[in-house]
A and B are shown apart, each in its own frame.
Chain A
């Protein structure tokens, strides 16, 4: 047999078997998962990948067969993403999220969270003082649908009824609705951070205004503590979640506006990934808050228990997020 004329043929004779094996393995991984491979294949995979990658380098320099180079390029790319680019298994990711990533992301946002808290608190106090001074302000802050009769003209009995009354029709549905609605708002707060955090700040201020407005209605009737307990059972979780969502938005907005030593692009990426991790946690917190609000609040009817549950949740979250923990090597 005569020697092949061109490099492409020579090259194929020497390596085609390796390429085809790699292609078969990568195809198997793409269609199913890495678990579909046997032990031998698994051991051979990195070697085959490097062989093919070096084939690509050589082919680019010595062969003029464009189809061969294109084939090797796509094979290497597919193998690369199967080897380096694929997320780790779902279970590993979930474990890492709860053990490290979530609390670490929230911890890293502490400054923004504090700012969000101050902003909301100031807005709440302002709304409270304004409405105590002139009740007509109430209607500027809260629309009728949300107030549902709980406005400055309501009687003490009616307000009391809204706090302690029994309303167990469609309880759980209401909880589910609240969860989806609040989560959607939290995701907005996060995404709106991209506009230099201004809309996020407005959203937080509005939350604070609503809180202050309701207190201004309930406190004159001696129901301030009752409202606080009514809010606390789910509110410590929910408001905390909203604050973190706002903080996540702030982080993105400030990273884009003031990137510091990083380039604007790198700062946005670092902030975006961190904030998104915190946001995933926010949705989970809102799920918990929805359960507490829809079910817990309607079944637990005494101020003490409501306040106790609320305080316990708050302590739990604070401990989970901010207690110093061992830095692991990873």
Chain B
């Protein structure tokens, strides 16, 4: 099989020092854009609330200057520090990223250093804030002509869509910092499917129909527990195996799963892995 190109999926091999591949899944561009928007909204909300609080204090108190300084420093910290401080925390994610289920990880698998986090976020200045603030300033002065607007937008667009032009979904900041953004998955240990021995007996021909791929699809159907898909799958298997309908679809599928799984696992033990129904 020729494998010149990297896989098109977002799963990347990531080998721990113990030598096990964890197969991380990269965050999709959509999820990352969503996380960024959530963060932007949160920053704006904090900024507006902070400004209102300071204005409210300002109307009462004497120390107007102190509050001005507080506001200036606060706005600066919010703009530059929001991403950096959150990502340096234990979870390696801003609140927006956490809500979407993403985290920042060093590409080499090491610790996320302060230098890396600062680098990836300082780059956001030229990716987004520079052209947009430039545009806003010109717009406020009324001197934003079409050419300037197009230039600023295409500059931003170039960096904005940069993650779509490389297969690891790296932002310019990620590129320079040596980080990438992966999905954080949380899964429960589901119920056991083949806990008890099958009550039905399946002929050899019936068990010879399918391979691992079909078995795991069946697992998905059983765990999903949707009545109509259970009925459909059960009727298809009965038809192919030439078995009579006994009215208990779920029980039938559970038994069939257990029997098929046991058979395929026996195959694994002697080094025969049947990938799907086409494999022999």
Contact = CB atoms under 8 A, between A and B. Distances in A.
Contacts of A87: 88-90, 92, 111-114
A86 B92 contact: yes
Contacts of A97: 114
A268 B20 CA distance: 28
Contacts of A183: 76, 80
Interface in B134-179: 172, 175-178
Secondary structure at the A interface, as helix, strand, loop or mixed, is helix
A85 B189 contact: no
Given A19-B189, A71-B190, A86 B90 contact: yes
B18 interface: yes
Contact of A187 (B65, B125, B219, B269): B125
A38 to B, nearest CB: 18
A172 B65 contact: yes
Interface in A245-281: 252, 265, 268-269, 271-277, 279-280
Contact of B111 (A9, A85, A272, A276): A85
A2 B172 CA distance: 58
A53 B18 contact: yes
A194 B75 CA distance: 26
B209 interface: no
A34 to B, nearest CB: 8
Interface in A278-330: 279-280, 283
B111 A277 contact: no
A29 B91 CA distance: 9
Contacts of B231: none
A286 B119 CA distance: 18
Nearest to A275: B119
A233 interface: no
Given A64-B215, A67-B223, A194-B126, A187 B115 contact: no
Contacts of B192: 8-9, 12
Interface stretch (A118-126, A143-151, A155-163, A173-181): A173-181
A198 to B, nearest CB: 13
Interface stretch (A54-62, A127-135, A214-222, A223-231): A54-62
A300 B73 CA distance: 24
A176 B130 CA distance: 21
B41 interface: no
A273 B123 CA distance: 12
A272 B116 CA distance: 7
A154 B65 CA distance: 31
Interface stretch (A74-82, A202-210, A236-244): A74-82
A8 B194 contact: yes
A65 interface: yes
A84 to B, nearest CB: 7
B212 A64 contact: yes
**Which one of B73, B114, B188, B194 has the highest number of Cβ atoms from chain A below 10 Å of its Cβ?**
B114
Contacts of A85: 92, 105-106, 109-112
B40 interface: no
A114 interface: no
A5 B262 contact: yes
A42 interface: no
Contact of B115 (A30, A71, A76, A273): A273
Contact of A269 (B69, B126, B176): B176
Interface in A23-71: 29-30, 33, 50, 53-54, 56-57, 61-68, 70-71
Interface of A: 2, 4-9, 12, 16, 19-20, 29-30, 33, 50, 53-54, 56-57, 61-68, 70-71, 73-74, 76-78, 80-82, 84-88, 90, 93, 97, 101, 105, 170, 172-173, 175-177, 179-180, 183-184, 187-188, 190-192, 194-195, 252, 265, 268-269, 271-277, 279-280, 283
Interface of B: 16-18, 20, 22-24, 65-66, 68-69, 72-73, 75-76, 80, 88-92, 103, 105-107, 109-119, 122-126, 130, 172, 175-178, 184-190, 192-198, 212, 215-216, 219-220, 223, 258, 261-262, 264-265, 268-269
21 contacts: A8-B193, A8-B194, A63-B265, A64-B265, A73-B23, A77-B24, A88-B111, A93-B88, A101-B115, A180-B72, A187-B125, A191-B123, A191-B125, A194-B126, A194-B176, A271-B176, A273-B115, A276-B119, A276-B177, A277-B115, A280-B118
